Structure formats: C-alpha cells, structure tokens
Amino acid sequence: MKDLWRLLRLFRPYAGWIALGILLSLATLIANIALMAVSGWFVASMAIAGTAGVSMNYFTPAAIIRACAIVRTGGRYGERLVTHEATLRLLSGLRVWLYEHLEPLAPSGLQRYRSGDLLSRIRADIDTLDNFYLRVLAPTVTAVLGGLACGLFLLADDSRLALILAAFLVLAGIGLPWLVRILGDASGRRVVSLKSDVRAATVDGVQGLAELQAYGAAGAQAAKIAGLSRQLAREQQRLSGITGLSQGALAMSANLAMWLIVWTAIPLVRDGAIAPPELAMLALYTLAAFEAVMPLPAAFQALGETQAAARRILEIADAESQVKEPKNPAALPQGFGITLTGVHFTYPEADRPALAGIDLDFPEGKKVALIGPTGSGKTTLVNLLLRFWAPERGHITLGGDDIAKLRGEDVRRCIAVVSQHTHLFTGTIRDNLRLAKPEASQDELEQACRAAELHDFILAQPDGYETQVGEAGLALSGGQARRLTTARALLKDAPILVLDEPTEGLDNPTAKALMRTLATLMTERSVLLVTHRAEGLADMDEILVLERGRITARGDHRHLLDSLPAYRVPN
C-alpha cells in the first residue's frame, strides 16, 4: 500500500483533472440511477392512473426523465474525455519523471537491469500505472460516494430497505472484490513479471539474432520465448476465469437485493407507508444502484498488477547511483591537468579489484598512452575519469580540484571521448553529429567531418548530411562509425581527448588510416590514448603499462623498448 501512496503523491499535479473526471462519472452514475427510478415510478403511476381512469400530470416526470437522459449521455461523454485527458497527462508526466530518475543512474546504477527489462519498466509498467487512475482510483471513489448516496436516499424512505441495499452493496462492492483479489493476486503479480520476461527475451532474441544463429541457438531462444508466452497465457486465462466468476456473482447479488427489497416493501405498500408506484421505482432503483459497484472487482484485480508495476517503477526511482553528485558543486577549475593518487576500484559483485592503487600524473597538454592486455582495467580508468564511476579509495583531481566536488556533467564537458563502442542514434548524420554540439553550424559540422576524413563519404551519399543512419538507416562500416565519433569529439572541442582503443575491431589499413587522422587532432590537447597497438606510441610523452589493475611499468617509447622485453609485444 505504501507504494500506492507514493504513486498518489506523484499524481498531485493532475489533481484537478482527476477530480473533475471522478465528479463527471459520479454525475453520470446518479443521473442513470435517477433515470431508472423515475421511469419505474412513471410507468407504474401511468398504469395505475389508466386503470383507475384518473388523469395525472405527466409533464414533470417526463421532463425529469429527459433531463436525466441528457445528463447521463453528456456526462458519459465528458467523463471519457476528461479521464482520458487526465490519463495522458499522467502518463507523460510519469515517463518524464522516470527518465529524470534514470538519467543520473547511468551507467553505474543501471548495470543490474537488462535493457529489455528497463524498456518494459519505461513502457509497460507506466502504462499499467495509468490503470491505477482509470480502473482503480476513479471507480472506487465513485462507488463509495455513489453507494453512500443511494443508501442515504433509501434511508429517507425506510431504514430496513436502506439496510438491505447497503448490505448487498457492501457484499458486492467489498466482499466480492476482496475475494477476487485473494484469488487473483498471485496471478496478477506473475503476469507483470512474465510480461517483462517475455519482452526481455524477445529484445535479447532480436538484438542477438546474429550470435544466436551463429551458435545454432536461435531455436532454443524461440522455445524459451514460446514457453514464457504459454505461461503468461495460462495466468491470463486464470485471471479471466476469476473475472467471469465475479461478474456472475455481482449480477446475482443485484438481483437478490432487488427481490429482497421488493419482498420487504410489499407489506409497506399494503400498510400505506409507501405508494404503490414506488414499488416499481424501488425495484429499478436497486438494480441501477449496483452499477456503482460494478467496476470494483476489476478494480481490485487491477490493484495487484498496479502495485507490482508501482513497486518496479519506484525501485528505479530509489536506486542509487554509485557516483554521488556533490550538494554544492564547485566551479570548474582553470587548468586541465589530471592526477590520480592511490585509486582503488572494484565493480559491484566483482571478486577482484579492477584498479588496485593507481598513481598517475597527467599534466595539461601531455600525451599519455595506457597499454595493457584486455581486462587490465584500461576502460575502467577512463570511466573513473569521466565520473561514470567513483573510486572507492584514492582521489582523482582535475586542475588541482578533487573531481568528487565537481558535477559529473561539468567534468565530462572537459573530456571528449572516442571509444570502441559507438552508438549511432536513429536519425540523420547531422543529428548524430549535433549530439556533441546542438548549436553547431553547417560549416562547423563540415570542418569536423573534413578533419575526421568523413566529409567526402558523406557527400557521396544521395542525401549528404541528411542521410539516415542507425537502426532505421544506412549502416556505417566500423571505420566510418569511428570517424563519425571522431567528428563528434572534435565538435565538442574539449581540452582533454580520450581515445579508448579507437581502432579496436578495425582491419589494419583502416586502423592505420584512422590513427593518422587522430594524430593530427592530438596537437594542442591533452591526450590519453588507450591502446594495445603499436601505432602512435612513439609520439607519446609517456606510456603506462597496466596489468591486472596496477601500473607495472612507465616511461617513453624508447625507454620501454630498451628496458622491458614484454613491451615489444604490441609491435
């Protein structure tokens, strides 16, 4: 329940829309009950007047009936309009809210989640949450207020009649939903987690299709998805069975209540306590009153799903990034020299440290290379510099200030990265470039692409800079994609350039050509080149050899060639 209260607090900005929707649905409900009751009374009165041969005023009741019908129809229309408007506002508000919580978590706080699972939380769980208003909150409030009004109205007539109606309304509105909830709770929970599993398995299956086929595992993945889907269908079938049962039980209690009320009212008519036409009115009134509680079993059933979704969403909102942003961030320092002193770092759940006591001085304008075998901690060091992760011990300074005192965003503004992982967004080449500098002019874009030696390739495309790339467009080759990231890094024009295995995965000639391009960019900047290739090492001011999280040798190219036999390996 605590989760739902927190959810309600998120709904606060939309309280006006929410209340208006509930008000309209209450008006519709009451208009419908009044319509049924007055019609019953009217038809019975007319029949009695007819047989007795007396005339009666039928203008007033006819007008009331018409008014009720208009309010009911208009109310229903308005209610749909308003509740949907409220839902859409809620949904977009919740998405933005979730995204705002996700963003500072990346990447350290998100590594526990699979991408399919995250997608599912952003899309499906948020969608489920809109049920909370449409299917849970609005019907429940309407039912409680409407039911109370119905009971009070009968109380004016006769307390026994009011008691019977109240008892059956409580039975159908609370007892039945409660039963449905008990029967469907476990299934509801399983449906939410199964839906997420199916989505995650499907996303994995599509994204990893090439791998799955290469290893002949596509069939197994398909079987896994089919198995999960079958389980999901079974749970949904169970939920549908429970829904059907509850609807039958609801109709039965409405009819039972009607018969009991008529049966109790007959002696009252005989005694003259109530007029004969009121009997027909009571019967229809009772039946119509149950409309108030009709959505409640479904509401309680949705409650299970909603709670599970709320918990999953709030779990992300509560997740903490491993990197703590400072409360009062310091201003960016003037210089851009970097030092690391005694830096230790271990990934969560890893059994050995990725970095174990790194001391490093990286003065402004210097070119430093970091070499070492795969898994030695090179990328980890880059991630610590970028403040994607924070060291568990030791300090990193930028321009003499501890970067823990700076905002991550500010630190990253000083560093441009070209790495082995390039994500191209679905969009044009121009969009992908502008990521680094949204206000960049066409001239600036072209200048960066010329320097990255990508301009001619872009011009050769029919749409030039408007060429679609990424998932929905042109797939760039590894080298071209790397050149695009290089152009991006140039546009960013940061004083520190970090190249994390920029030629990884490229064939030799492509790699050599790219390194030549990069070398021209290294002038006038501090450069940290992470590599396991020999190219460019001779031009570096200092080379650090990293092994299992420790710096095991350092010096310039010549010095290492002379002193360290193992150093020849990259050649």
Instruction: Name the site residues for ligand ADP (rule: CB under 6 A).
Output: 111, 347, 350, 354, 372, 374-380
How many CA within 13 A on the CB side of residue 274?
22
Q: What angle is formed at CA 332 by the lines to CA 328 and CA 335, rounded to 5 degrees?
A: 145
Burial class (CB in 10 A: 0-12, 13-18, 19+), 569: exposed
Comparison of 29 and 371: residue with beta carbon closer to Mg ion: 371
Q: Contacts by 251-256 with C-beta closer than 8 Å and gap 24+?
A: 253/168, 253/171, 253/172, 253/176, 253/290, 254/168, 254/172, 254/286, 254/287, 254/290, 255/287, 256/168
In the complex, minimum distance from the CB of residue 149 to ligand ADP, in angstroms, rounded to a whole number: 59
In the complex, minimum distance from the CB of residue 110 to ligand ADP, in angstroms, rounded to a whole number: 10
Residue 142's binding partner among ligand ADP, Mg ion, none (Cβ under 5 to 8 angstroms by kind) is none
Q: Residue 275 is encoded by which pair of tokens? A: 């007029």
In the complex, minimum distance from the CB of residue 380 to ligand ADP, in angstroms, rounded to a whole number: 3
Stretch of residues binding Mg ion (CB under 5 A), selected from 78-86, 334-342, 374-382, 444-452: 374-382
Residue 111's binding partner among ligand ADP, Mg ion, none (Cβ under 5 to 8 angstroms by kind) is ligand ADP
In the complex, minimum distance from the CB of residue 456 to Mg ion, in angstroms, rounded to a whole number: 30
Comparison of 112 and 270: residue with beta carbon closer to ligand ADP: 112
Comparison of 72 and 378: residue with beta carbon closer to ligand ADP: 378
The secondary structure of residue 105, as a DSSP letter, is: G
Answer yes or no: are the C-beta atoms of 169 and 289 closer than 8 Å: yes
Answer yes or no: are the C-beta atoms of 343 and 396 closer than 8 Å: yes
Q: In what order do the strands lie in the sheet with 401-402?
A: 355-362, 338-345, 393-398, 401-402
Comparison of 166 and 546: residue with beta carbon closer to ligand ADP: 546
Q: What DSSP assignment string belongs to 350-385?
A: -SS-SEEEEEEEE-TT-EEEEE--TTSSHHHHHHHH
Residue 153's binding partner among Mg ion, ligand ADP, none (Cβ under 5 to 8 angstroms by kind) is none
Residue 375's binding partner among ligand ADP, Mg ion, none (Cβ under 5 to 8 angstroms by kind) is ligand ADP
> Residue 422: which of 478, 382, 377 has the closest Cα?
478
The residue sitting closest to Mg ion, measured at its beta carbon, is 379
Residue 470's binding partner among Mg ion, ligand ADP, none (Cβ under 5 to 8 angstroms by kind) is none
Answer yes or no: are the C-beta atoms of 259 and 284 closer than 8 Å: no
Residue 354's binding partner among Mg ion, ligand ADP, none (Cβ under 5 to 8 angstroms by kind) is ligand ADP
Stretch of residues binding Mg ion (CB under 5 A), selected from 38-46, 130-138, 229-237, 375-383: 375-383
Q: How big is the chain, counted in residues?
A: 571
Applying CB under 5 A, does 379 fall inside the site for Mg ion? yes
In the complex, minimum distance from the CB of residue 540 to Mg ion, in angstroms, rounded to a whole number: 18
In the complex, minimum distance from the CB of residue 550 to ligand ADP, in angstroms, rounded to a whole number: 12
In the complex, minimum distance from the CB of residue 547 to Mg ion, in angstroms, rounded to a whole number: 14
Q: Give Rg (Cα) of the chain.
A: 35
Stretch of residues binding Mg ion (CB under 5 A), selected from 60-68, 330-338, 353-361, 376-384: 376-384
Residue 279's binding partner among Mg ion, ligand ADP, none (Cβ under 5 to 8 angstroms by kind) is none
Applying CB under 5 A, does 503 fall inside the site for Mg ion? no
Answer yes or no: are the C-beta atoms of 487 and 452 closer than 8 Å: yes
In the complex, minimum distance from the CB of residue 111 to ligand ADP, in angstroms, rounded to a whole number: 5
Q: Which residues are at the interface with Mg ion (CB under 5 A)?
A: 379
